């Protein structure tokens, strides 16, 4: 646009003010309607005693992260504790607990129908820690979601810093646990009766500290460990974009490693990989490919990993768990989509639970994670990609192409739960409009400033 026409447009004060005012009114109206019509929060639905989901094929146990005691969300929105909730087959709430700041991995206890093993993080003040600063206690608990009976299996005190809350443990024999120690970048086996560490693998033995995230604050972000039937351990090193297989005696089996750092076409800061054994059509790994906004499966073929299936849709945002069920369905935990969904063999959603920031979900009676389900190859499952939902470009796909995924992810923690992707775009459009309007009002002020000696300010005619 020629400078004269641009200046003429900028000097058209009345039309521009009317246009800006209309934009502000429309944006505020959209946000107000979204806020007023937002469904009740999950705790409100629990208190009502009404079903929170449609009927499903079994009880679903969900652990949510919560946003208490740290981060931007605490500064702007306030504390929001985590939740452990069991939703019965008829959609009613069978068990609900929000005692702790965060709930992470949850697994069914073998030989029981209703008992789960899970990890929770308890915030403690400096006085409770008997220290100069506050801290967290990582708790490993077992709860019968039918009776509410809870037993502590193991606990460990850690400093209050980013990335110190354990995300996963797994049983390692009758009286031992293997821990994905996110704070110390290691996996270790501990005897829960004596507290003695019996074995450990330190990531520094196989990876340079220059890889992954910032060392030592959040280097590997090891977020998952799984004990395989052959004795190996499968570990998720989120910041290295890798799933690794560790022989307890020999260390990392490099020819089994799935993923490559910064090769985001394979994995991008993944969570909760599940191993499917040969007896169920594997070796295969179902993994929440979080920053790629999909759940993906890789099949072991001639000593290499080949992608065999994936799921994504227009809503899925930062998924952190995907469990293959015995009937070929997949239970997906969509963290920033604030939901848990079950998709069938063709990728159609057949069940949904709306819940804020879920971390992991388990369907009781189907085996631990994906061990009871078939591989995608053996069950001939169909992939489902996001662009199948209407095709073409969407606001979401454009936003991800323009804005770094880490920023969009961070906004999911800051914005209130009633504000979805569209509302977030309206909010930032509103802020941008107000900013431009404010600059124009400054431009229109009847005063000018000249940088001279002395400083001169004069009123324009």
Kindly report, residue by residue over 27-56, the tens digit of the pLDDT: 999 999 998 888 888 888 898 889 999 999
- In angstroms, the CA 299 to CA 45 distance is 40
C-beta separation of 308 from 375 below 8 A: yes
- In angstroms, the CA 347 to CA 388 distance is 10
Q: What is the mean pLDDT of residues 274-289?
A: 97
pLDDT at 399: 65
C-beta separation of 307 from 382 below 8 A: no
Beta-carbon contacts of 158 under 8 Å, excluding residues fewer than 6 positions away, are: 135, 136, 137, 138, 164, 165, 183
The angle at the Cα of 270, spanning 367 to 52, to the nearest 5 degrees, equals 55
Structural domains in the chain, sorted by start: 3-37+439-459 (no CATH), 42-414 (2.120.10.30)
Tally of CB atoms within 10 A around 255: 8
DSSP 8-state assignment for residue 128: H
DSSP 8-state assignment for residue 279: G
Assess whether pLDDT exceeds 90 at residue 98: yes
> Among 115, 107, 151, which residue's Cα sits nearest to residue 361?
107
Total residue length of the chain: 461
Distance (Å) of CA 19 to CA 12, 16, 26, 31, 398: 11, 5, 11, 19, 25
pLDDT digits (tens, 9 = 90+) for 99-138: 999 999 999 999 999 999 999 999 999 999 988 899 999 9
Distance (Å) of CA 284 to CA 161, 229, 237: 35, 14, 18
Asked which of 246-255, 351-360, 410-419 is least confident by mean pLDDT, the reply is 410-419
- In angstroms, the CA 270 to CA 290 distance is 5
> Among 269, 423, 391, 434, which residue's Cα sits nearest to residue 335?
269
The percent of residues above 70 in pLDDT, for the chain, comes to: 87
pTM of the model: 0.87
């Amino acid at each position: 646009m020629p400078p004269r026409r641009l200046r003429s447009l900028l000097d058209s004060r009345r039309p521009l003010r009317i246009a800006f005012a209309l934009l502000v009114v429309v944006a505020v109206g959209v946000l107000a309607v979204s806020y007023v019509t937002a469904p009740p929060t999950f705790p409100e639905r629990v208190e009502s005693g009404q079903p929170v989901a449609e009927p499903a094929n079994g009880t679903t146990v969900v652990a949510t992260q919560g946003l208490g005691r740290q981060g931007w969300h605490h500064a702007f929105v306030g504390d929001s504790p985590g939740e452990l909730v069991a939703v019965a087959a008829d959609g009613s709430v069978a068990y609900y607990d929000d005692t702790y700041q965060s709930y992470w991995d949850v697994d069914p206890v073998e030989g029981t129908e209703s008992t789960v093993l899970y990890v929770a993080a308890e915030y403690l003040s400096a006085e409770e820690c008997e220290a100069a600063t506050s801290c967290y206690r990582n708790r490993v608990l077992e709860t019968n979601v039918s009776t509410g009976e809870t037993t502590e299996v193991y606990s460990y005190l850690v400093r209050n810093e980013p990335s110190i809350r354990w995300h996963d443990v797994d049983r390692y024999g009758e009286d031992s646990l293997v821990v994905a120690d996110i704070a110390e970048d290691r996996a270790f086996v501990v005897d829960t009766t004596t507290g003695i560490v019996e074995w450990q693998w330190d990531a520094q033995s196989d990876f340079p500290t220059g890889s992954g995230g910032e060392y030592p604050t959040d280097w590997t972000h090891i977020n998952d460990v799984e004990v395989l039937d052959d004795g190996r351990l499968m570990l998720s090193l989120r910041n290295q974009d890798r799933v690794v297989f560790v022989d307890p005696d020999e260390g990392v089996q490099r020819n089994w490693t799935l993923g490559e750092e910064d090769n985001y076409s394979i994995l991008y800061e993944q969570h909760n990989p599940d191993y499917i054994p040969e007896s169920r059509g594997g070796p295969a790994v179902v993994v929440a490919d979080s920053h790629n906004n999909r759940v993906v499966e890789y099949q072991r073929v001639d000593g290499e990993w080949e992608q065999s299936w994936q799921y994504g849709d227009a809503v899925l945002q930062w998924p952190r768990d995907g469990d293959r069920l015995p009937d070929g369905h997949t239970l997906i935990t969509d963290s920033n989509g604030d939901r848990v969904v079950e998709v069938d063999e063709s990728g159609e959603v057949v069940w949904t639970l709306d819940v804020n920031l879920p971390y992991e979900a388990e369907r009781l009676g189907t085996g631990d994670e994906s061990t009871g389900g078939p591989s995608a190859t053996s069950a001939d499952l169909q992939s489902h990609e996001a662009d199948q939902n209407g095709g073409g470009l969407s606001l979401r796909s454009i936003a991800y192409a323009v804005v770094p995924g880490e920023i969009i992810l961070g906004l999911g923690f800051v914005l209130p739960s009633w504000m979805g992707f569209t509302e977030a775009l309206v909010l930032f459009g509103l802020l941008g409009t107000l900013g431009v309007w404010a600059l124009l009002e400054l431009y229109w002020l009847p005063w000018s400033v000249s940088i001279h000696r002395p400083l001169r300010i004069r009123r324009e005619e």
